[in-house]
Amino acid sequence: MIARLRALIKKIRLYIQITEMGPIARRYFVKNGFDGSMTMLGIIVGAWVVHVTQPEIVVTSGLGACLAMGISGLSGAYMTERAERKRDLKNLECAMITKLNDSVISDATRFVTFYAALVDGGSPILTALVSLSPFFFLLYGMIAVQVAYIASLVVTLITLFILGLYLGRIAKENMLLYGIQTLIAGVATIVIALMLGAV
């Protein structure tokens, strides 16, 4: 069992290396994770501004947005990546004057199409669920409404900060600066949403 798992991991790494999918997957993950957090920020602050006290409303709205972002990312990335990878494969076949149907390159092309879709669709769902997590506690009466709102805003801002740190690490630049930039984007969203609610 362990040997099979190791062989599978080795194969996946090979596919990612052949197709140079690593940097693309990272971009998908961070960009869509950022979108997921920011979308939830808008929903949560909007609900707070209009004094929504029923956790079911926030959770249902949030999960609906999660589902929409996930399906959009999954299908969009799959179709886009599939078209790009098929074109690259056909160009390579033309250059080599041979078909690559049963080759490792063909297998890698098929795999990374699903891999890209999974990362693209899964990332916003993951970050959105993190933002919604305090409201699941509220559903079971474990915390108060105001605590859920504040906790949700805090964990969302922390998520944005972590995504910024990760971007800084990828860029090999000041991680803290990147973290602060993404944090500022989140704080700005909260401030603007509160101002709109006060109008």
Tens digits of per-residue pLDDT, 15-74?
A: 788 777 788 888 888 888 988 999 999 999 989 988 888 889 999 998 898 888 888 888
* Average pLDDT over every residue of 145-156: 94
Of 13-22, 147-156, 168-177, the one with minimum mean pLDDT is: 13-22
pLDDT of res. 150? 94
Residues 126 and 35: their CA atoms lie apart, in Å, by 11
pLDDT of res. 157? 95
Nearest alpha carbon to residue 128 among 151, 159, 166: 159
Instruction: For residue 13, tell me if it sits in a domain.
Output: no
pLDDT of res. 147? 94
pLDDT(10) > 60? yes
Of 57-61, 104-108, 121-125, 155-159, the one with minimum mean pLDDT is: 104-108
pLDDT of res. 180? 93
How many other C-beta atoms are found inside a 10 Å radius of the C-beta of residue 87?
10
- Averaged pLDDT of the chain: 86
pLDDT of res. 199? 55
pLDDT(12) > 90? no
Instruction: For residue 14, tell me if it sits in a domain.
Output: no
Instruction: For residue 15, tell me if it sits in a domain.
Output: no
How many other C-beta atoms are found inside a 10 Å radius of the C-beta of residue 48?
21
Instruction: For residue 21, tell me if it sits in a domain.
Output: no
pLDDT of res. 149? 94
The domain tally of the chain equals 1
**What are the structure tokens assigned to 75, written together?**
């299908």
Query: What does R_g of the chain's alpha carbons equal in angstroms?
Result: 21
Instruction: For residue 7, tell me if it sits in a domain.
Output: no
Instruction: For residue 80, tell me if it sits in a domain.
Output: yes
CB < 8 Å & 24+ apart, contacts of 106-114? 107/15, 108/14, 108/15, 108/16, 108/18, 108/19, 109/19, 109/85, 111/12, 111/15, 112/15, 112/16, 112/19, 112/21, 112/81, 112/85, 113/78, 113/81, 113/82, 113/85, 114/78
More confident residue, 181 or 114: 181
More confident residue, 170 or 165: 165
pLDDT of res. 130? 94
Residue 133 lies in domain: 37-45+54-198
Instruction: Assign 60 to helix, strand or coil.
Output: helix
* Average pLDDT over every residue of 138-162: 93
Residues 62 and 150: their CA atoms lie apart, in Å, by 16
Instruction: For residue 169, tell me if it sits in a domain.
Output: yes
Instruction: For residue 12, tell me if it sits in a domain.
Output: no
pLDDT(198) > 80? no
